Amino acid sequence: MTLTDIVKSAFEKAFPGEDLGGIRVVPATDPKFGDYQCNDALKLAKKVGLKPRDAAQRVADSLDRACFEKVEVAGPGFLNLTVSQSWLNSRLAALDAAPNCGIPQNGRGKKIVIDYSSPNAAKQMHIGHIRSTVIGNAIDRIFRSLGYEVVADNHLGDWGTQFGILIKGYRDLLTDDERANLTVPVLEKCYVLSAAKAKEEDGVWREECKAELVKLQQGDAENLALWKRFIDISIAEFNRMYAKLGVKFDTYRGESYYNPLMPGVVDRLLKAGLAEESEGALVVKLEKEKLGVAIVRKSDGGYNYTTSDLACVESRVKDYDPERIIYVTDDRQQLHFKQFFSICGKLGYTVKLVHVPFGLMSYQGKAISTREGNLIKLDDLLAEAVRRSKAIVEARAEGAAEGPKAAEGDVLRLAEQIGFGAVKYADLSHDPATAIDFNWDKALALEGNSGPYLQYAYARVKSLLAKAGGDGASGGVAPMPNGVGGFLVAGPVEKRLALQLLEFPGAVVRAAEAYKPSVLADYLFQTAQLYSSFYQNSPILRSEEPVRSARLRLCALFGEILRSGLGLLGIETPEHI
């Protein structure tokens, strides 16, 4: 039984038939108060006509004492709980035996869509794109681990006025050679040059761009083929980044996919009496909700971002029937999502819509933009990450006197695992809501609260287990015949680690509920620190049996949890560093 179940049954025994609401048992804020605390007797006291401390005492008297070393009623009516060794050892054994490190399968049978990364086509990805990609992918992995069926959908920006500018530029500004060997950097240059010409006084170029756009929208075969080529080249380039980052999508339905559905959306808005004319445009008024006005058809007849996202919901509901759709974008889009979620509500959609906004990434205090000239390409960031971690891997290899020399390919692979781990963790360890000012050293931190610090902790525990003659997980460490799966937690430092390990499934659940991978990153960092104090405090290989095996099992469990947790953040865990 979990601790919450044990305490809940004590409440049931103490107050039979009473509506208890939720009973929450949380880790104690300070170990001197015990291991856990529960404050729910306070709430209940009034209802049952008892003084809060008396209500808490009644629960204390009903608790199964075999599970606790000490139970105290404290302050105005808190319950402070110190768990018993036997309870702790048996919980560790249960966690150790549970599949997926005990992550509950709350999401079984539920489907969700996660819309993330979603870059705009014909542009190179820059450091600003790392956030949606890495945060979205961690949320994706976390929900999958909870048993949800996830559709990861890359909502590419692959439609809109920029394609008129691009097509015109492609035809008239590129060399034959550039046209034959089209790449994303060439497309980007083509866009910049053509967009600059579209700003010229006489407006001729601008009109010609518009004409190309209209032809494209009307399905002109040549323009469609060009557009398709631009998109294919862009996706191939994005995929090159995703492969490095270990990010996979189930589908790439860009904005263009929803284009044919837009007139239908507008019809439905009109039929439902939600849209009205305003200065030639069609709008949905959301003033009552304090969300202003959302345009759904511009005065020139064109549709916009809101219309496209409405069509997108319609299609996702029809195709997947998800219980939830999660959108991961920067926080400048908050109003857009509030408006369009509100319209979805009015249209009667019951699917839960969630926007996960993240703070914008800036560089040297300025928004990242081509115009500012402060754009660092994602490719360059990743290359630098590998360069820095390779230097460290090589220095370490040199320091290790014995053993065969690692092959160049292995060194590079390890440098990538560490370098990409560093980049991801640097982002994921921040609450998504905070803005980040990009800094090379912080983005590539290899020490302190960093990805490599955790990867190194994992490699170290693995090598300890190997030295002990088994890796724990594969049964190298034999369970003890004392009936508690070999765990024998003793002493405060070991106990802190053990209690923390038990919190892993809860940390995964909390990260999902808050849509914040940072909750899990914090948990893992704290766990690694507790492990490190345990390791320094408690002899392991030099201990006598059964303590030696029991401690090795704790180490193995720590290793498994670290591997699983980092995996949920998309961070690899090499066995040797």
Is residue 133 within the footprint of ligand ARG (CB under 6 A)?
Answer: no
The H or E element that residue 519 is part of is: helix 517-537
Cβ of residue 433: shortest distance to ligand ARG, in angstroms? 17
432 interacts with ligand ARG by CB under 6 A: no
Tell me if 34 contacts ligand ARG by CB under 6 A.
Answer: no
Q: Exposed, middle or buried: residue 79 (CB in 10 Å: 0-12, 13-18, 19+)?
A: buried
Is 427 a residue that touches ligand ARG (CB under 6 A)?
A: no
Compute the least distance from the CB of residue 136 to ligand ARG, in Å.
10
- Minimum Å distance from CB 129 to ligand ARG? 8
Q: Which is nearer to ligand ARG, 155 or 553 (CB)?
A: 155
Q: How far apart are CA 508 and CA 102, in angstroms?
A: 10
Q: Are 247 and 239 in contact (CB under 8 A)?
A: no
**Interface with ligand ARG, residue 259, by CB under 6 A:** no
Min dist CB 327 to ligand ARG, Å, is 5
Q: Is 113 exposed, middle or buried (0-12, 13-18, 19+ CB in 10 A)?
A: buried
Six token digits for residue 319:
């195709």
In whole angstroms, the minimum distance from the beta carbon of 128 to ligand ARG comes to 9
User: 35 or 309: whose CB is closer to ligand ARG?
Assistant: 309
Token pair of 519, please?
Answer: 């909750």
Nearest distance, CB of residue 133 and ligand ARG, angstroms? 11
Cβ neighbour number for residue 189 with a 10 Å cutoff: 15
- For residues 119 and 224, give the distance between their C-alpha atoms in angstroms, rounded to a whole number: 20
Question: At closest approach, how far in Å is the CB of 115 from ligand ARG?
Answer: 5
Q: How far is the CB of 312 from ligand ARG (least distance, A)?
A: 6
Determine the Cα–Cα distance for residues 323 and 352; give it in Å rounded to an integer: 6
Alpha carbon distance 282, 276 (integer Å): 5
Interface region with ligand ARG, contact rule CB under 6 A, candidates 89-97, 117-125, 180-188, 543-551:
117-125
Among 118, 194, 339, 538, binds ligand ARG (CB under 6 A): 118
For residue 325, the minimal CB distance to ligand ARG (Å) is 9
Q: Which is nearer to ligand ARG, 157 or 322 (CB)?
A: 157
Q: Distance between CA atoms of 226 and 58, rounded to whole angstroms?
A: 76
List own/partner pairs for 346-349 with CB under 8 A and 24 or more apart. 346/272, 346/274, 346/284, 347/268, 347/269, 347/272, 347/274, 347/310, 349/313, 349/317
CA dihedral (464, 468, 473, 479) positive or negative: negative
Site string for ligand ARG, 508-527 (x = CB under 6 A): --------------------
Half-sphere exposure of 515 (CA within 13 A, CB side): 18
Q: How many residues bind ligand ARG (CB under 6 A)?
A: 10
Locus of tokens 């300890």: 464
Q: List the one residue from 9, 82, 120, 217 that touches ligand ARG (CB under 6 A).
A: 120
- Closer to ligand ARG by Cβ: residue 284 or 312: 312
Question: What span, in angstroms and rounded, lies between the C-alpha atoms of 451 and 501?
Answer: 19
Out of 107, 128, 136, 157, the residue judged to bind ligand ARG by CB under 6 A: 157
* Closest distance to ligand ARG from the beta carbon of 119 (Å): 6
Candidates 58-66, 86-94, 118-126, 470-478 — which segment interacts with ligand ARG by CB under 6 A?
A: 118-126
User: Closer to ligand ARG at the Cβ: 204 or 335?
Assistant: 335
Instruction: Please report whether residue 191 would count as binding ligand ARG according to CB under 6 A.
Output: no
Please measure the distance between the N-terminal and C-terminal CA atoms of the chain and give it in whole angstroms. 39
Neighbours of 27 (CB within 10 A): 15
Q: Which x/- pattern over 97-116 shows residues binding ligand ARG (rule: CB under 6 A)?
A: ------------------x-
Question: Which residues ranging from 321 to 360 are in contact with ligand ARG (CB under 6 A)?
Answer: 327, 329
Q: Under the criterion CB under 6 A, does residue 554 sit at the interface with ligand ARG? A: no
| Listed residue (318, 291, 290) closest to 306, CA to CA | 291
The encoded tokens of residue 360 equal 């914008």
Alpha helices by DSSP H, listed for 218-252, are 221-245
Binding residue (CB under 6 A) for ligand ARG from 8, 131, 141, 155: 155
Provide, rounded to whole angstroms, the least separation between the CB of residue 489 and ligand ARG. Answer: 47
Residues from 294 through 313 that contact ligand ARG (CB under 6 A): 309, 312
For ligand ARG, the closer of residues 128 and 472 by Cβ is: 128
* CA-CA-CA-CA dihedral for 60, 63, 67, 73, to nearest 10: -10
> Closer to ligand ARG at the Cβ: 7 or 356?
356
List interacting residues with ligand ARG (CB under 6 A). Answer: 115, 118-120, 155, 157, 309, 312, 327, 329
